[in-house]
Structure 1
Amino acid sequence: MRITFKVPALRGQGRPRFSKYSGAYKSKEDIEYENLIKDCFLKVAEDFEPSKRPVSIHIEANYKLTKSTPKYVADEITSSGFDYVPQSKPDIDNIAKSVLDALNGVAYIDDKQVHKLTCTKYFDTKSDTDYLIVVIYYYNYRTIEDIKNERRRNQEIKHI
């Protein structure tokens, strides 16, 4: 099974904040962005139960060209396709962390279930906003828990 959704904003997870009373916590902006990602997922998967199965996630970060980009550079990027890639903030690992944290308990039980993660950055010359495309693939691979459960069931059957 595959679920694809678009997030109409692009932001990486910031550094944790610290309080002498409550320890580490996420910033308000990080929490709002994670809620946006959750909402975008739930729009396309309304009655979805978080999966216990292994998942693979592909994240595509699409950057608009800034207004300060010279016209000759914009023309070159537009005509060449994927020859130019953004090397700007946010860092790709922070983008991935935001998505993985946001989907915990919504798309899957825990992000330890993610067995493959790909994340790419592109310029989108036709868009006037930055955005993410997230694709989640759900697999029917057997897990260690499956093997343990099968063994328990077999032992229960033997005792009957």
Structure 2
Amino acid sequence: MSQVEFSIPGEPCAKGRPRFIRATGQVMTPEKTANYEQLVKLSYLQQVERDKPLTGPLVAKIYANFAIPKSVSKKRQQRMMSRQEYPQKRPDADNLAKIVLDALNGIAYADDKEIVCLEVRKYWAEVPRVDVVLREI
């Protein structure tokens, strides 16, 4: 059983909706989405020392850590850091998973259809990032 772990620096980002251009029939990926997918790929390649993708049924755990707003009181900051308070804000957990899993297609695994168990959690943190754990079953 093999497992990989890596972190994506910066504020978590969601997968944007594709835009359709009627005149040409083309589908455009939003620039923010394309840039974040590149960051996911780069983070994986820099942090994971693996020469072949994971195979078989996979478990994926995605932990999105959002920056604590500067306007929050010290007392509330402590509640956030001790995980007594969670970020109930955008982006949605499913869109967080979508951008990370789609970006790893063909790199960490052949296709995200191999993921049979998915856990996505949202937390507050001093340093914004997304932590990813992928494990073969």
Which residue does the alignment assign to 1:73?
76
Identity of aligned residues (%): 34
Check whether the contact 2:60–2:115 (CA below 8 A) recurs between aligned residues.
Answer: yes
Q: How many residues align?
A: 134
Which residue does the alignment assign to 1:135?
133
Distance 1:109 1:75 in 2: 41
Q: Does 2:54 correspond to 1:51? A: yes
List runs of 5+ in structure 1 lacking aligned partners.
Answer: 140-160
TM-score (norm 2): 0.89
Letter in 2 for 1:56: V
Equivalent runs, 1:9-48 vs 2, <5 Å: 9=10, 10-20=12-22, 21-48=24-51
Q: CA offset at residue 123 of structure 1?
A: 1.2
Which residue does the alignment assign to 1:97?
98
TM-score (norm 1): 0.77
**RMSD, matched Cα:** 1.5
Question: Counting helix residues as a fraction of each chain, which structure ranks higher?
Answer: 1
Check whether the contact 1:48–1:107 (CA below 8 A) recurs between aligned residues.
Answer: no
Distance 1:110 1:76 in 2: 38
Letter in 1 for 2:95: N
Q: CA offset at residue 47 of structure 1?
A: 4.4
Check whether the contact 1:13–1:95 (CA below 8 A) recurs between aligned residues.
Answer: yes
Q: CA offset at residue 36 of structure 1?
A: 0.6
Question: Counting strand residues as a fraction of each chain, which structure ranks higher?
Answer: 2
List runs of 5+ in structure 2 lacking aligned partners.
Answer: none
Which residue does the alignment assign to 1:88?
89
Please state whether the residue corresponding to 1:13 is helix, strand or coil.
coil
Which residue does the alignment assign to 1:150?
none
Which residue does the alignment assign to 1:146?
none
